[in-house]
Structure 1
Amino acid sequence: MTEEKFAKAGIVPDVISTAPVGVIDVKYPSGAKMELGNELKPRQVKDQPEVHWKANDKDLYTLCMTDPDAPSRSDPKFREWHHWLVVNIPGCNIKEGQVMSEYVGSGPPEKTGKHRYVMLAYKQPGKISPSEKHLTNRSGDGRGKFKIASFAEKYKLGDPVAGNFYEAEWDDYVPELYKQLGA
């Protein structure tokens, strides 16, 4: 079912070449849940979610959330804009991982339609030492034109082991997010 939903949404091939088999359970503090393509509002997903997937506590994982539709699906010139990147996660204990990009919720520009927000988990071959710089949630700099597939290739992560996604379009929270990011 995951593979079919990722293909139908165009995440395969826009973001990854092979859909994950496992599903990441994602629940936001607002009570909203990511459910393989459901629609959520930016205000519902503004805070970092709780995330779980089938993981071995002895293995390390990378987690990424990315938007392939920046600034719009019809003109994705900033594909992908990554919203969250954590590496060296023991099992699915995010708090113990190394945050490369702090969580930023959805902020699709007004009148750009629905954007896909894709979360992927990769099993690492061992501990990695990324050369990419740490990004805070106070700036959008360095987040555009990121490619999770290229990152996965660079660090020999293989295909994602789990994933999930939702769609969102502009709501009245987006200007607050832009202010937080200094835009």
Structure 2
Amino acid sequence: MDQMPRAAVDPLVKGKVIPDVLDMFVPAAEIAVRYGGIRVECGSDIKPSLGTQRPRVHISGSTGSPGYYTLVVVDPDAPRPSEPIYKEWLHWLVIDIPEGSDASEGKEIMPYMGPQPPSGTHRYVFAAFRQHSPMETVRRRPVERERFDTRQFSSENDLGLPAAALYFKSQKQ
């Protein structure tokens, strides 16, 4: 792995997003998340009050060909980091996001739910998966918030490894 892709996944390894939620991957796209005027940096702290409104999420690939992405947003630390029995809690699921577009241009499968950590510091993981073609629907029905499994969802929908990911931390105010 060359220096650039490794630098992109290092914060995910340090924050244990890899291996808790995702397998090691080589980034093939960029994901930008903004709450209002604040850009989320990988591993940064975000107050729950800032995350109440759906963020702007922009996914841009490096393939040069038009394509679509699936966005999965989960909290692997629910309800408590010391006892994550609901691992993973699904906060948002959007499919068919056109490359180079905002997530709002895709099809929302699970409505956005902002960070609501009841105790401790929680991680909120944004993972973008490149689709082979438009999906229109997901193979796993029904999609539930509680005990969502990003790896299983990716496998069931033939998405493979993520193309991009980032996470932020949040704790009860």
Query: TM-score of the superposition, structure 2-length normalised?
Result: 0.86
Q: How far, CA to CA, are the matches of 1:152 and 1:42 in structure 2?
A: 27
Q: How far, CA to CA, are the matches of 1:43 and 1:17 in structure 2?
A: 30
Work out the percentage of aligned pairs sharing the same amino acid.
Answer: 33
Aligned residues: 161
Alignment equivalent of 1:90, drawn from 72, 95, 98 = 98
- Mark the runs of 5 or more structure 2 residues left unpaired by the alignment: 1-6
Q: 1:95 to 1:48 in 2, by over 3 A?
A: same
Q: How far, CA to CA, are the matches of 1:10 and 1:20 in structure 2?
A: 16
8 A contact 1:7–1:19 mirrored in 2: no
Tell me what 1:73 maps to.
81
SS in 1 for 2:60: coil
Alignment equivalent of 2:35, drawn from 22, 28, 36 = 28
Q: 1:79 to 1:98 in 2, by over 3 A?
A: same
Give the letter for the 1:123 counterpart: R
Tell me what 2:146 maps to.
144
1:127 and 2:126 correspond: no
SS in 2 for 1:150: helix
Query: TM-score of the superposition, structure 1-length normalised?
Result: 0.82
1:10 and 2:16 correspond: yes
1:100 and 2:109 correspond: yes
8 A contact 2:73–2:91 mirrored in 1: yes
Deviations 1:26-59 (A, max 9, x none): 1112x23210101110001111111113235721
Tell me what 2:72 maps to.
64
Q: How far, CA to CA, are the matches of 2:156 and 2:86 in structure 1?
A: 20
Q: How far, CA to CA, are the matches of 1:90 and 1:57 in structure 2?
A: 11
Moved over 3 A (4+): none
Give RMSD over aligned pairs. 1.6
- Mark the runs of 5 or more structure 1 residues left unpaired by the alignment: 135-141, 172-183
